[in-house]
């Protein structure tokens, strides 16, 4: 088992990662009857994509002795209606100042496009990844 989730009322939940005991609280977004006081479930999907991309890039960087400590991902989520769903996720990967070779850039960019979260998303969901070197 991965997580245990409790409905805490008022459209909120508390999810506990069973191995570590870490918790994440969620709230419905303001545009869907919530208070927007925590990540919404769809925000978690967006964050999962960004963290997955950086993690997979990190694995590749470690395997190729590339320093990418300090890399950042910013994710913008665009919702659609009928049905309500995530229509587009825009991810901007900002790499720390470093003299990356063309080969290193290609290695890291290729890794970013092979993240398991992205591979799990519906093909109709538009995913845009931008790299800032």
pLDDT at 119: 96
pLDDT at 40: 97
Q: Report yes or no: 4 and 24 within 8 Å, Cβ to Cβ.
A: no
pLDDT at 129: 98
Two tokens, residue 116: 């398991």
pTM of the model: 0.94
- Determine whether 37 is exposed, middle or buried from the number of CB atoms within 10 Å of its CB (0-12, 13-18, 19+): middle
pLDDT tens digits for range 8-17: 999 999 999 9
pLDDT at 70: 98
pLDDT tens digits for range 91-123: 999 999 899 999 999 999 999 999 999 999 999
pLDDT tens digits for range 33-62: 999 999 999 999 999 999 999 999 999 999
pLDDT tens digits for range 68-87: 999 999 999 999 999 999 99
**Could you tell me where the beta strands, DSSP code E, fall in the chain?**
3-9, 12-17, 23-27, 72-80, 85-94, 126-132
pLDDT at 33: 96
């Amino acid at each position: 088992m991965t997580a245990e989730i409790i409905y805490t009322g008022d459209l909120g939940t508390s999810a506990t990662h069973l191995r570590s005991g870490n918790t994440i609280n969620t709230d419905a977004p303001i545009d869907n009857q919530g208070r927007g006081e925590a990540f919404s479930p769809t925000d978690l999907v967006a964050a999962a994509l960004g963290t997955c991309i950086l993690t997979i890039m990190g694995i590749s960087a470690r395997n190729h002795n590339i320093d990418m400590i300090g890399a950042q991902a910013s994710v913008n989520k665009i919702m659609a209606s009928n049905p309500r769903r995530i229509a587009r996720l825009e991810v901007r990967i900002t790499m720390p100042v470093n003299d990356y070779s063309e080969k290193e850039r290609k290695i890291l960019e290729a890794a970013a496009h092979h993240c398991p979260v992205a591979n799990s998303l519906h093909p109709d969901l538009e995913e845009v990844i931008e790299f800032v070197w």
